[in-house]
A and B are shown apart, each in its own frame.
Chain A
């Protein structure tokens, strides 16, 4: 069965500092990989996705993520965070076949210090 682990439940960084959110997945093959962001009262917004090819993918809002097959990881990074980045971040996997339902991690809540 697929599973996603986000080891950090809550992270606090200062505005302007760099950010890395960790994500590890368990799946029999390479799945599709995603990062979503959820702000209070808002729906889930897709930040970026990985299917194949270049293991460093660029997303919206200055985010990027790197797929490392050997570590089954898909960590999200941003060089310099802004106060508006405070939100809940979810890593998710999707099987290539079948229902293609998303399997989410439990999320990492990001707090930004001014």
Chain B
């Protein structure tokens, strides 16, 4: 399978614990995006990388959230001291930017439940 993969698919944690999600983009894709989708809503942008550089972060991304993309390949999203409001589906997308358009390919998501 050459699509975007995310691990784990499901994560249940207790409030206050730290969690880390991983996203493996399509090979050669230079952009990687993280979105968050809460129940009954559309996905919302969190942050994105161009190669290894994190170029933009949404105001939704509090100080408890950190994302990395070492070497411009896979990316991790860490949430420290989780809160119940962090429960959501975390989606990763990757794209190959050429000219003025990039089509984003989405992974299956990681569903986080904070108890």
Q: Given A44-B91, A99-B55, are A92 and B42 neighbors across the interface (CB < 8 Å)?
A: yes
- Answer whether residue A53 sits at the interface, using C-beta atoms and an 8 A cutoff: no
A interface residues, Cβ below 8 angstroms from B: 4, 32, 36, 41-46, 49, 51, 90, 92, 96-107
CB distance from A75 to the nearest CB of B (A): 17
Partner of A42, one of B31, B101, B108: B108
When distances are taken between beta carbons in the complex, the residues of chain B under 8 Å from A41 are 108
Give the residue among A4, A96, A101 with the most B Cβ atoms within 10 A: A101
C-alpha gap A103/B43 in the complex (Å) = 8
By a CB distance below 8 angstroms, the chain A residues around B48 are 99, 101
**A45 cross-chain contacts in B, Cβ below 8 A:** 106
B33 at the binding interface (Cβ < 8 Å)? yes
With A and B bound together, what is the CA distance between A69 and B45 in angstroms? 25
